[in-house]
Structure 1
Amino acid sequence: MATVLPVYPTTRRNVELVLVVAAVLIACGAWAVVGLTEHGSLPGGLFAYGGGLGALAVVLHLVLRWRAPHADPVLLPVATLLNGLGLVMIHRLDLSEGTSAASRQFVWSALGIAAAGALVVVLRDHRVLRRYTFTAMVAGLVLLLLPLVPVLGKEINGARIWVGIGPLSFQPGEIAKIVLAVFFAGYLVVHRDALSLTGPKVLFLRLPRARDLGPILLAWAASVGVLVLQRDLGTSLLFFGLFVAVLYVATERVSWIVIGLGLFAAGAVFAATTMSHVRSRVDIWLHPFDADNADSAYQLLQGLYGMASGGLLGTGLDRGRPDIVPFANSDFVYASFGEELGLAGLFALLLLYAVLVERGMRTAIGVRDGFGKLLAAGLAFSVALQVFVVVGGVTRVIPLTGLTTPFLAAGGSSLVSNWIVVALLLRISDLARRPAAEVRNGPEPGDTGVTQAVRIP
């Protein structure tokens, strides 16, 4: 009688290692091109920055081999490549502006990757987070309101979204989006039946009951409150968009999208007609070439002129003038890439983001518990929405909002928070890709969101 041995799916950790090495080599090659163009020789910091980034990424890869062997093998290489390219562009702008933002960005990169590794080690099962649903709600609201504290909060460029302690500053809204995603997923996995199965039908839409509108109205009011009190259009849009997206994934009802868009339109009209800073951004968006907007639209116009001069293939690294654009290494880093890498380079960056979001959504499809599905979908959508808002603002598709480009823009708050997002997706994907026989019952045995296991490559 033949013995049947169990067949275990491959973890593809070796594929991940090869992709991580390739990502680091691409970033090092770009850094070398900048040095060769600027000085005619390899830059002195090439091996320090390239080797440091490579060592950090390999250490995180080893942590995944140890603690999350079935995690998605594509997420880490894509995040590493985006982080590395961001360092290259910030370094290239440092050479033109005489600043040292790249060294600070590298420190934040190390902190972000270290935080991601620590989260993978400490959080053995993402379902544990469901126990802290309402704790996450309180923490998220506290983080959003923290910049309003008189001594602690700081106003920079007209927006009060920073917390400062001495020379250090941090943007708590970046962490708030993560803990609020945990709250949204934990709340909606419990209440999704009431939100999706009841309510009157009007034309082709099944509308929710009046009492079930409470959560979305509360989220809308909170997002408008952030917009009014902190003058932060980007965080307000991200916060409300994240909630509506997770609500749609939980209920699969188009009516929630219609209601969400209606509330967003009402909030946008209210803000544009009553708030001077929002009205100014809308005016710049609609009439950037008017003489009256010559000063306020300068940043947007210079970014557009720079991308236009880049054409299809770009001027080449260190051969353009992206340093003319204000905040070229943060708010307008995407325009900086557009000038020197051209339309082809911008599409390549968008493709990397598309892969990152696609792997997050694939994780949401494959994971077996409802909480994990909503959390993975919310985190992936937050990255997609942030990229759309930033790229749309820079290319004048929508008004500028002040959000940062994930992984590319200078800024420690955004970089650390996005590495935490990647760590959570890695942790969830480990459970999603793990053989069903190895998956233990979650910490919440009453979870009604358990679905049929789906194998994902």
Structure 2
Amino acid sequence: MATISELRVHRGRRAEGWLLVLSWALAVLARGLVDYHADYLELGALAWYAAGFAVAAAVLHIALRIFAPDSDQVVLPSVLGLIAVALAEIRRLDFAYAARGRDTDFAGTQIGWAILGAVVFIAVLIVIRDHRVLRRFTYTAGVLGIVMYLLPAVPGLGKEINGAKIWIGAFGHSLQPGEFGKILLVVFFAGYLQTNRDALALAGPKVLGMRLPRMRDMGPLAIMFGAALLIMINQKDLGAALLFFGIFIGMVYVATERISWVVIGLVLFVVGAIGAGIVFPHVASRYDAWLHAMDPQVYSSGKSEQLVRGLFGMASGGLFGTGLGNGRPDLVPYAESDFIIPSLGEELGLTGLMAILTLYVILVQRAMRTAIGVRDGFGKLLSAGLGFALTLQVFIVVGGVTRLIPLTGLTTPFLAYGGSSMVANWVVIALILRISDQARRPAQSPETRTDPATAPSRRRPDLEEAAAQ
């Protein structure tokens, strides 16, 4: 007779299968609508696209069942649903640009990046069979993370685009190494905080009712955080700095459960935001566009033109949107990348945007649920940190295009055009699912009782000698 755990896993796998079918149907339907409204519908090409998406989903499903059989069954279909919508909308923008005399193939390129990301996803699951192994490389990950952020500063390698020097040229493409540096620094923070969480939470003087950490405990963490923040500020990538700062504060709070960290973080954030507006002219212009977007002088100067066009696009979409292929998202600059949310808002409406945001909520909720369920502290912090990364990135992007906060230039995970973001976020999902597999594995499994990052050997010579006697 099957156990309760086996029945739960069996039902979960069946549910994942049906969810994958839904994501496949969404991909085919969205692609078909875009081609139909562009008078470019070819059933043969649509059939090849449907078959390719189905094969990719099946391969990912099989790989997940082989290398992480107990992992969460909802995460992968949610990711594929986001990618399905993104590929359709980016293809729709290719048609719109072509009508205006601009020949692009963003959709074809993004399909290639999505496939590469899926391959990297499977490779991470194969190579990292236990997430706790990453704890051995705590400081190595920290150093490599800083190196990733330093690469754009190398003469001849770095490229400045739209006022930010955060890209490097490689193999004929522009790559953003900071996307991968973000993951490495999350690994560093998780390992360091797990080792020093008691000292950070309990030791140190009290000031105004808040317990502050000792410098000897906080020193290495502050150095790594300060170095990464200075690098990002020097590169004028304040969106990534805000994301990184939020992840750091969130992980410290999870590790210490001290509200004082949140208060200190908010104070530092306000001071940093005001200072950035004073020091950097391009940040001041974004503040001006945020506060006075509808001012004729600000709009005519070009500071708020992109933001206002995006707002009018979403307004024209209304509740249910104009329909895929019936809007004018190409009127917004960088509609395929920075402003893909307004593009989708115009053609899918508020209802479609809420469905997309719900998929993000599912991903973040599953990451936090994994953090609660996993049995080791390092896994809790790592899963929570990756969940914070997804949450803050989506909030910063959506908040910027809806004028809730100033624009920062970050990309929307799995939606926006861009290879670095696509591949890096596939790595994030692979790590979350690897931790989820460990969290959902039955407690009696030997692998869950031994932490390979802390236990030097499985053998106990003293017990073997006593047994022999």
What TM-score comes out, normalization by structure 1 length? 0.93
**% same residue:** 54
Partner of 1:320: 327
Which residue is equivalent to 1:378? Answer: 385
> For residues 212-246 of structure 1, what are the alpha-carbon distances to aligned partners after superposition, in whole Å with 9 as ceiling and x for unaligned?
44356435533541343211011111111111111
- Cα distance change on mapping 1:224 and 1:115 into 2, 3 Å: closer
Q: Deviations over 1:162-208 (max 9, x none)?
A: 01025222100111111111111001000000110123444553333
The CA distance in 2 between the partners of 1:421 and 1:238, in whole Å, is: 15
Equivalent residues of 2:149, 2:228 under 8 A apart: no
Paired with 2:367 and 2:418, the residues of 1 have a C-alpha distance of 23
Residue segments in structure 2 that go unaligned for 5+ positions in a row: 99-103, 457-469
Q: Distance in 2 between matches of 1:351 and 1:361?
A: 15
Corresponding residue number in structure 2 for 1:29: 29
Q: Which residue of 2 aligns with 1:205?
A: 210
Residue 439 of structure 1 deviates from its aligned partner by 4.1
Shift of 1:5: 8.3
Whether contact under 8 Å (1:57, 1:113) holds in the other structure is: no
Q: Is the 8 A contact 2:30 2:84 kept in 1?
A: no
| Contact 1:36–1:43, Cα closer than 8 Å, also in 2 | no
Is residue 305 of structure 2 the alignment partner of residue 310 of structure 1?
Answer: no
Secondary structure, aligned partner of 2:319: coil
- Map 1:48-447 → 2, pairs under 5 A: 48-98=48-98, 99-214=104-219, 217-218=222-223, 221-293=226-298, 294=300, 295-440=302-447, 441-445=450-454
Q: Is the 8 A contact 2:232 2:241 kept in 1?
A: yes
Deviations 1:28-55 (A, max 9, x none): 1111111222217456532333322221
SS at match of 1:326: coil
Q: Deviations over 1:116-162 (max 9, x none)?
A: 01111111100110000011001100000100001110011111000
Question: CA 1:174 to 1:268, structure 2 compared with 1: closer, same or farther past 3 Å?
Answer: same
200-209 vs 78-87, which moves further: 200-209
- Does the residue aligned with 1:244 lie in a helix, a strand or coil? helix
Cα separation, 2, equivalents of 1:13 and 1:128 = 27
8 Å CA contact 1:137, 1:179 repeated in 2:
yes
Aligned length, in residue pairs: 444
Q: 1:41 to 1:153 in 2, by over 3 A?
A: closer
CA, structure 1 residues 325+409, in 2 after alignment: closer, same or farther (shift >3 Å)? same
Report if aligned partners of 1:181, 1:375 keep a CA contact under 8 Å in 2.
yes
Give the letter for the 1:375 counterpart: L
Cα deviation for residue 290 of structure 1 reads: 2.2
Residue identity matched to 1:155:
E
For residues 88-120 of structure 1, give each alpha carbon's deviation from its aligned partner in whole angstroms, at most 9, with x where no partner exists.
100010111122100000000000011001111
Q: Any idea what SS the aligned residue of 1:39 has?
A: coil
User: Any gaps of 5 or more consecutive residues in structure 1?
Assistant: 448-457
- Alpha carbon RMSD of aligned pairs, Å? 1.8
After TM superposition, the structure 1 stretch with the greater mean CA deviation from structure 2, 165-174 or 419-428, is 165-174
Mapped contact 1:431–1:439 kept (Cα < 8 A): no
- Native 8 Å contact 2:134 2:453 kept in 1: no
3-state SS in 1 of match to 2:453:
coil
| Distance change >3 Å, CA 431–CA 81, structure 1 → 2 | same
One-letter amino acid of the counterpart of residue 442, structure 1: D
1:436 counterpart SS class:
coil
Residues 286 and 215 (structure 1), Cα distance of their counterparts in 2 relative to 1, 3 Å cut: farther
Secondary structure in structure 1 of the residue aligned to 2:73: coil
